[in-house]
């Protein structure tokens, strides 16, 4: 029988904002439209998860459980050096990928098509197969190299979604800010969330 539900890849690189990744995987975990999530983190990504969230996975395969606080059954953690994983091939039917947060280094690797680790290779596969790839860039200020790499990645099909939370809906907490940003990311992957704030024009002022 044909299985239904989306297959999503989540890459986590070593930029500040591990809470964005945690919030995103929690939303994917509870989203019945998603049947499989591959999680890949770079070494610096794991370091930022440890320093910003206090989550240290002795065995990285347990990371999805630690991030979601659930059994995380639909998740599979893949080592970043495993460039032979299923998601490294365009023949495997991933529906989309997000790199969250996306460091300037990982952006450069994707923009240049290096494919030298699994995050970069899986992203490259999404671009060549014309599948959605959302890059949640987190760096500031931006130098010319960053800007040019964003242009290159965007021209190749990536969606540049800087980790810049909005304030027009009156967020009260950091969790509000992060959740609304992550809702926008998921909407770009075709997974709009119930809790996403929707501006209704002047009535909201």
- Binder among 45, 60, 64, 115 for ligand FMN (CB under 6 A): 45
Which C-beta is closer to ligand FMN: that of 16 or that of 70? Answer: 16
- Region from 30-38, 43-51, 126-134, 152-160 binding ligand FMN, contact rule CB under 6 A: 43-51
CB 12 within 8 A of CB 51: no
DSSP string, 66-105: HHHSS--TTEEE--TT-TTSGGGSTTS---EEEEEEE-HH
CA distances for 111 relative to 32, 71, 107, angstroms: 32, 35, 6
Which C-beta is closer to ligand FMN: that of 103 or that of 180? Answer: 103
- Show the tokens assigned to 41: 């983190």
Q: Which residues contact 180 (CB under 8 A, 6 or more apart)?
A: 165, 166, 169, 171, 196, 197
Q: Work out whether 44 is an interface residue with ligand FMN (CB under 6 A).
A: yes
Q: Work out whether 60 is an interface residue with ligand FMN (CB under 6 A).
A: no
Q: Going residue by residue from 134 to 153, which x/- string records binding to ligand FMN, judged by CB under 6 A? A: ----xx--------------
Binding site residues, ligand FMN, CB under 6 A: 13-16, 42, 44-45, 48, 51, 103-106, 138-139
């Amino acid at each position: 029988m044909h299985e239904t539900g989306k297959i999503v890849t989540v890459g986590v690189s070593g930029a500040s904002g591990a809470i964005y990744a945690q919030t995103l995987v929690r939303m994917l975990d509870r989203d019945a439209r998603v049947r499989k999530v591959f999680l890949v983190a770079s070494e610096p990504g794991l370091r930022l998860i440890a320093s910003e969230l206090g989550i240290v996975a002795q065995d990285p395969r347990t990371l999805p459980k630690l991030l979601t606080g659930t059994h995380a059954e639909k998740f599979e953690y893949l080592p970043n050096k495993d460039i032979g994983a299923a998601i490294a091939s365009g023949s495997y039917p991933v529906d989309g990928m997000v790199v969250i947060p996306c460091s300037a280094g990982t952006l450069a690797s994707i923009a240049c098509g290096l494919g030298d680790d699994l995050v970069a290779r899986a992203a490259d596969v999404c671009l060549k197969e014309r599948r959605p790839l959302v890059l949640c860039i987190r760096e500031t200020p931006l130098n010319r190299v960053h800007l040019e790499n964003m242009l290159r990645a965007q021209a190749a099909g990536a969606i540049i979604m800087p980790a810049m939370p909005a304030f027009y809906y009156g967020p009260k907490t950091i969790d509000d800010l992060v959740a609304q940003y992550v809702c926008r990311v998921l909407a770009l992957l075709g997974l709009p969330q119930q809790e996403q704030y929707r501006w209704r024009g002047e009535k909201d002022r």
